[in-house]
């Protein structure tokens, strides 16, 4: 697909009605909707979109913060689907200009031309001064061939961990025991939980969450993700395991093993 075709898709997505997808109360219903009208956000993965919806709803999220706007597929979709303000950063000048063009005039979308670390330093400082802020962060594995010591996640996560309450989803992340999911590499090493394990444990985050369904069951590009949070609200919601939070299952960061095998949502 050409760059122009992608831009036109983004423009068309500005008017997409996500009401039926928001109301979808089961995995089969969400998949059926996405097969009728494919989505562009979240790598075109509708089950991931429902997971993010469940996280933002349980968190009572006050904003969605995206690292890497590219052509604003997730930027536009997340705002319209989740119905919360969206902030997104893009370091590439051309992609930033394209994303500015396709989001022109859309409310509750703020685009920043910046590196993700500079962006997070700014927004996390602002969020710390806002009582009751409950942000959801959508990070990237930052695939690159640079030295592993320069992994951006190692700088991004401590900035987020300074906040009282948050949820974090990392895209292009290795999923344990699920070979069908693709993951990014940095410095020739797969981006997976052991790379951030010391950071999580240092903050008392002993559980993270991975998809409870094979990659082939979702729509779109089969990239893996890792989800974790600091939120009593989300802890309580996860104990109930109602859809769509039954689409994820917990993984012990300490023991490097799944806590339980969740049944896949019907």
Q: Identify the H or E element spanning 112.
A: strand 109-112
Looking at residue 265, its pLDDT comes to: 38
Residue at 176 is within a domain: yes
What sign does the dihedral 105-89-159-175 (CA atoms) show? positive
Note the pLDDT tens digit of each residue in 171-224: 999 999 999 999 999 888 999 999 999 999 999 999 999 999 999 999 999 999
Question: What is the CATH number for 18?
Answer: 3.40.50.150
Report pLDDT digits (tens) over 138-159. Answer: 999 887 777 888 889 999 999 9
Q: Does some domain include residue 235?
A: yes
Indicate the number of domains in the chain: 1
In a domain, 188, yes or no: yes
Q: Which tens digits make up the pLDDT trace of 28-45?
A: 999 999 999 999 999 999
> Residue 21: which of 42, 43, 47, 59 has the closest Cα?
47
* Higher per-residue confidence, 12 vs 184: 184
pLDDT for 264 equals 38
The range of the structural domain enclosing residue 151 comes to 3-258
Mean pLDDT of the region 232-256? 96
Residue 233 inside a domain? The answer is yes
211 within some domain: yes
When the pLDDT of each residue in the chain is averaged and rounded to a whole number, the result is 93
Tell whether 141 is covered by a domain. Answer: yes
Identify the pLDDT of residue 266: 34
Question: Is 178 a member of any domain?
Answer: yes
User: Given this model, what pLDDT does residue 262 score?
Assistant: 45
| Residues 251 and 176 sit within 8 Å (Cβ to Cβ) | yes
- For the ranges 70-74, 185-189, 237-241, 262-266, the lowest mean pLDDT is seen at 262-266
Instruction: Establish if 249 belongs to a structural domain.
Output: yes
């Amino acid at each position: 697909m050409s760059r122009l075709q992608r831009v036109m898709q983004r423009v068309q997505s500005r008017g997409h009605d996500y009401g039926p997808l928001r109301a979808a109360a089961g995995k089969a219903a969400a998949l059926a909707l996405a097969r009728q009208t494919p989505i562009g956000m979240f790598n075109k993965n509708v089950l991931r979109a429902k997971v993010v919806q469940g996280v933002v709803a349980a968190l009572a999220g006050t904003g969605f913060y995206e690292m890497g706007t590219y052509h604003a597929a997730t930027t536009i979709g997340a705002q319209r689907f989740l119905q919360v303000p969206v902030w997104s950063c893009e370091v590439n000048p051309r992609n930033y200009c394209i994303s500015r063009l396709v989001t022109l005039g859309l409310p509750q979308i703020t685009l920043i031309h910046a590196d993700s670390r500079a962006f997070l330093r700014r927004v996390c400082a602002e969020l710390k001064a806002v009582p009751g802020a409950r942000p959801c962060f959508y990070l990237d594995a930052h695939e690159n061939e640079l030295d592993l010591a320069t992994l951006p996640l190692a700088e991004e996560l401590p900035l987020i961990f300074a906040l009282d309450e948050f949820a974090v989803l990392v895209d292009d992340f290795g999923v344990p025991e699920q070979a069908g999911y693709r993951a990014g590499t940095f410095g020739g090493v797969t981006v997976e939980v052991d790379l951030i394990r010391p950071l999580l444990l240092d903050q008392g985050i002993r559980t993270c969450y991975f998809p409870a369904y094979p990659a082939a069951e979702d729509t779109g590009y089969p990239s893996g993700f890792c989800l974790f949070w600091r939120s009593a609200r989300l802890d309580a919601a996860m104990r109930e395991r109602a859809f769509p939070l039954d689409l994820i299952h917990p993984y012990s960061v300490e023991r490097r093993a799944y806590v339980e095998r969740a049944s896949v949502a019907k």
